[in-house]
Structure 1
């Protein structure tokens, strides 16, 4: 047995070492393609690429912060810049060279990430045994996600598995928290929700308060929470398998004051926009109309964010998440591979000028975009209350706002068989990659200590 494990470890080490070498081979090939086939035009291509990126970022900033002729001129520049670059490459007969070099560079990154990838135990949340519930209570919103509750016949399927199901059909607003508390008083041994993340958060808070298992059914529109739990977002009925054959994940719960959140709480520009009565009927138009004043600081309160030993004065937006998002996935804010580290993620954006916007291209040397992990985040402002978006729910909260995290507070039951969480995308550390490929270090030495916990 020990010999087999040693052989497997050696095989894995050799595989990663050759992947690291392949990454360097691909990047050298990419440079060689440019030098051999572009020759003296290589520096020109570099200048064009950098210049185009700067122009694109500046044009996008002007489009978001201006009105009238300047806004639409900026949009034209934003669209025309890549077209002009493409035409220049075609006329110079260098398009295929750039595409080939870019393809090799992408291959290098893919190989590098595979070589430095962490073992599943480093990024997957631990699983615990879970006994099937005897008195499960589920809340289902038939209007959520375009009617997924009815489309997938979730009520009937859940009842066949022995669950009590309540539909949020009205009339009027239904007090979801009151329904859940009443179910607990009547002896429910599991609470669950088929609906949006805002409803999930409300019931999850009650489940955590009473130390009851919580079931997530991916019947919302975006299902961010379900995504991070590795659930099937295309077929929410598969989530019901947890009632008969489930396992338990023990995850953290975020709090804004006394209100729980499972995904994130946003403050600043986005929270101001969603507060507008016009936002529901015209999301794009309302956002474009309000953004210039919000970015310029002429609308809404001036925020002050404090976390750990850092203070950020005047950010346009602050996002506090229940567990940090992937550093490489900010654009979509899509995934959190772990929600059990006992930390909040915090992202602040401070961009009030074209120079600061362009500075975002230099992620390592600018402060316009800050990403950190923290145990507590305090948002203050020069006004007595500020808008907040908490798991998609628009609220107004008195300042200062204190965001905290309760480690391992929620017992989430998920199906034993589910799509799962993908490995996180990590920045490529070329120094560690070189040591792995040519320096004789082991795979374990090539992985940062913090990633081996």
Structure 2
């Protein structure tokens, strides 16, 4: 077993540096403002709270009130900065922020080595003999054509079907027929919604699945460590690949690889106007959705907890990292065997400001569970499944299927930055001042 003492020493040094920088971050303002530093801190926090509350007013209002709220969103932080400049401490505040950012970076670097996310285990994989790939030419603004994905895949021995945008096809049926015809790998070049449809077939038949990051966002590809800027690199999995076992989520009978959303977002994507003008449609519909004048009243049951009346619910295939309450960043792993469940309940501007506390805010409920049941006061619930709009009969059951999907990825891939660990200050102190850090 390799000696990890040097790694442990490096983590302790980073933890001590983080604590020292955190303490030093308070000094510039104290030295520049003296006793006024407490008042300046209160002023900054108040400005941030007002700006956050103004965001809530902007989202839940129309007309002139929305315009005034938009002005306040900008004016509140600007007023704080101007105040700091007038009293001559702006330089000290900026220096404190830089030191604090360095402290946070050092702290996360220290914690990332102790009990942080570990990559999903890789297994050797033989080159597929009959790979079958489905490609959506419209995904990602035309990445399939721009990166010559179909031609490159065929050169590597794959059977490729490029979808006709004007002739909708049943992708799951295409994948099933391919397996019956002898396909020993299924792959998709497209968005996450398309990926999920074929991934469900691959999981059911225990056939390896290959992700080609040709969609717009491709969160699933990101968490697999694939290069989203050049989807052609994903094709390396055909010739020099390894296999991962990852979880999939199910909402009803539908597979999802990222999230199933309920409430405000799900209702917005159901609108026929959403595809034509996403921003305008969202701003038009949100006031009624967030204030309860439109949309179903939801109830969520998961892990022995009941969330009553949330405006939005996000159920994810594995939980998103702790510093990302909206579930828009990265997951630490895809094989934890649990769903992430996030409920947002915000009834007023005060609660909206309280969400500055992240997952500790009163308007957020974050859970992990093997199953979540979402009920409503209507017979059918709008659901957004990996960005696709569905309507399912209530109650809707979401569940995790641990290790259900075999994913083929390139052996050599640019994995990108690791998910940031939650900054746990007590744990950081233990790591800095005890021999084993109390984290192993």
- Range into which the TM-score falls when normalised by the shorter chain: over 0.9
**CA distance in structure 1 between the aligned counterparts of 2:116 and 2:353, rounded to whole angstroms:** 38
Partner of 1:262: 257
**CA distance in structure 2 between the aligned counterparts of 1:312 and 1:251, rounded to whole angstroms:** 28
Q: Check conservation: 1:337, 1:422, Cα contact below 8 A.
A: no
Partner of 1:406: 401
1:328 maps onto 2:323 in alignment: yes
Partner of 1:271: 266
1:306 maps onto 2:284 in alignment: no
1:40 maps onto 2:41 in alignment: no
1:442 maps onto 2:439 in alignment: no
**1:421: how far off?**
5.1
Q: Check conservation: 1:124, 1:421, Cα contact below 8 A.
A: no
Deviations 1:183-219 (A, max 9, x none): 1111111000001111111111001111000010000
Partner of 2:349: 354
1:130 maps onto 2:143 in alignment: no
After superposition, the Cα gap between the structure-2 partners of 1:120 and 1:200, relative to the gap in structure 1 and judged at 3 Å, is farther
After superposition, the Cα gap between the structure-2 partners of 1:133 and 1:225, relative to the gap in structure 1 and judged at 3 Å, is same
Partner of 2:223: 228
CA-based RMSD of the aligned residues comes to 1.5
**CA distance in structure 2 between the aligned counterparts of 1:11 and 1:261, rounded to whole angstroms:** 41
Q: Check conservation: 2:321, 2:422, Cα contact below 8 A.
A: no
Q: Check conservation: 2:117, 2:333, Cα contact below 8 A.
A: no
Q: Structure 1 residues 328-337 or 150-159, which shifts more?
A: 328-337
Q: Check conservation: 2:203, 2:404, Cα contact below 8 A.
A: yes
**CA distance in structure 1 between the aligned counterparts of 2:72 and 2:166, rounded to whole angstroms:** 50
**CA distance in structure 2 between the aligned counterparts of 1:85 and 1:170, rounded to whole angstroms:** 51
The count of corresponding residues between Structure 1 and Structure 2 is 440
Q: Check conservation: 2:56, 2:349, Cα contact below 8 A.
A: yes
Q: Check conservation: 1:254, 1:321, Cα contact below 8 A.
A: yes
1:78 maps onto 2:61 in alignment: no
1:283 maps onto 2:286 in alignment: no
Q: Check conservation: 2:137, 2:165, Cα contact below 8 A.
A: no
Partner of 1:342: 337
Partner of 1:102: 97
Partner of 1:62: 57
2:240 pairs with 232, 239, 245, which one?
A: 245
List alignment gaps of at least 5 residues for structure 2.
none
Partner of 1:385: 380
SS at match of 1:411: strand
Q: Check conservation: 2:320, 2:327, Cα contact below 8 A.
A: no
SS at match of 1:254: strand
Partner of 2:389: 394
After superposition, the Cα gap between the structure-2 partners of 1:128 and 1:351, relative to the gap in structure 1 and judged at 3 Å, is same
Deviations 1:221-261 (A, max 9, x none): 11111001000111111100000000000001110111111
Deviations 1:27-46 (A, max 9, x none): 22111222112212201211
SS at match of 2:214: coil
**CA distance in structure 2 between the aligned counterparts of 1:422 and 1:342, rounded to whole angstroms:** 23
1:174 maps onto 2:169 in alignment: yes
Name the TM-score, length of structure 1 as normaliser. 0.94
**1:355: how far off?**
2.1
Deviations 1:253-309 (A, max 9, x none): 110111111111100000101111111112111111111111111111100011010
SS at match of 2:203: helix
Q: Check conservation: 1:389, 1:395, Cα contact below 8 A.
A: yes
Name the TM-score, length of structure 2 as normaliser. 0.97
Q: Check conservation: 2:138, 2:165, Cα contact below 8 A.
A: no
Q: Check conservation: 2:323, 2:358, Cα contact below 8 A.
A: no
Q: Check conservation: 1:384, 1:399, Cα contact below 8 A.
A: yes
**1:119: how far off?**
5.6
**CA distance in structure 2 between the aligned counterparts of 1:437 and 1:225, rounded to whole angstroms:** 35
